[in-house]
Amino acid sequence: MDNITILIADDSAPFRDGMRAMLRRETDMVIVGEAASGAEAVRLAAAQQPDVVLMDLQMPEGNGIDATRTIVTASPHMRILVLTMFEDDDSVFAALQAGARGYILKGADKREVLRAIRAVHNGEAIFGPVIAQRLVHYFAARHQSSSAQPPFPELSEREREILAMIARGKSNQEIADDLVVSLKTVRNHVSNIFAKLQVADRAQAMDLARRAGLGRTAAG
């Protein structure tokens, strides 16, 4: 089995020293370069073509996000593993959007770092426990927000109410009677609903509303 070639990109010399000492003990890993800036990381990645780049985010001469994007665009086969102190959502998602395949925090133990390197080299996406938890919470919150949104957000609350009545098969006069408003008011609302939903007639509006789940609870 071929060795995993690794480029270390971090502006902290002590951190690079520590990573070098750790990785040199692994028989399946070889360090092919070290970069202290984003620009140097891009240059060495192009020259050395490492399998995995260990990328810090905060570096001079081009941050880790920009360096990741440039490297992945030029060499999609390279795997970027972010190894940083930043755990905020903006940093995590910016790195992923740039093309990083993994994201772990500095301070992770040796076993976690080595497992992450081997995982991204094998084509997996991997995140440290703290980052994974943040991702779960982020997507759970987005799902809840999406689920809470009512159908047809372009309609006003009154228009959705009238659309639900249309879905139940009520006529304009019946809607006016139920809401205690004039027939003209209902017609105006119905006209606005048709325009916003881009439907031609009542039948299309009814079909659209029923497919969205409106009008089911009070069918007569």
- The number of folded domains in the chain is 2
Does the pLDDT of residue 38 top 60, yes or no? yes
Spatial separation of the C-alpha atoms in residues 17 and 34, rounded to whole Å: 10
How many C-beta atoms surround the C-beta of residue 31 within 10 A? 18
Q: What is the dihedral of CA 190, 195, 198, 201, to 10 degrees?
A: 40
Query: Both 10 and 94 in a single domain?
Result: yes
Question: Do 39 and 139 have their domain in common?
Answer: yes
Task: Work out the percent of the chain whose per-residue pLDDT is above 70.
Answer: 89
**Residue numbers of the domain that contains 176:** 157-211
Confidence band, pLDDT 50/70/90 cuts, at residue 213: confident
The residue whose two tokens read 């943040």 is 134
Q: What is the CATH number of the domain that holds 162?
A: 1.10.10.10
**CA atoms of 53 and 71, how far apart (whole Å):** 9
Does residue 146 register a pLDDT over 60?
no
Helices (H), the chain: 13-23, 38-48, 64-74, 89-98, 110-121, 129-148, 157-167, 172-179, 183-197, 202-211
Among residues 99, 97, 70, 100, the alpha carbon closest in space to that of 84 is found at 100
Cβ proximity of 57 and 82 under 8 Å: yes
* The two structure tokens encoding residue 97: 């959007």
Contact 47, 69 (CB under 8 A): no
Last residue of a domain, one of 94, 111, 144: 144
Query: Which of 4-8, 32-36, 87-91 is the least confident region?
Result: 87-91
The answer to the question of residue 219 being in a domain is no
Position 59 in a domain: yes
**pLDDT tens, residue by residue, 90-130:** 788 888 889 999 899 898 899 999 999 999 999 888 887 77
What is the SS3 assignment for 30?
A: strand
Q: Check if the beta carbon of residue 71 is closer than 8 Å to that of residue 78.
A: yes
Q: Is residue 152 part of a domain?
A: no
Mind listing the pLDDT tens digit for each residue in 5-14?
999 999 999 9
Residues 80 and 182 in one domain: no
Distance CA 133, CA 143 (A): 15
Are 59 and 99 members of one domain?
Answer: yes
> What does each C-alpha distance from 134 to 108, 129, 138 come to in angstroms?
16, 9, 6
Between 153 and 88, name the one with better pLDDT. Answer: 153
3-state secondary structure of 215: coil
Same-domain check for residues 29 and 122: yes
**pLDDT bucket at 152, cuts 50 / 70 / 90:** confident
Say what the pLDDT of residue 77 is.
92
pTM assigned to the model: 0.61
34 has pLDDT over 50? yes
Per-residue pLDDT, 219: 38
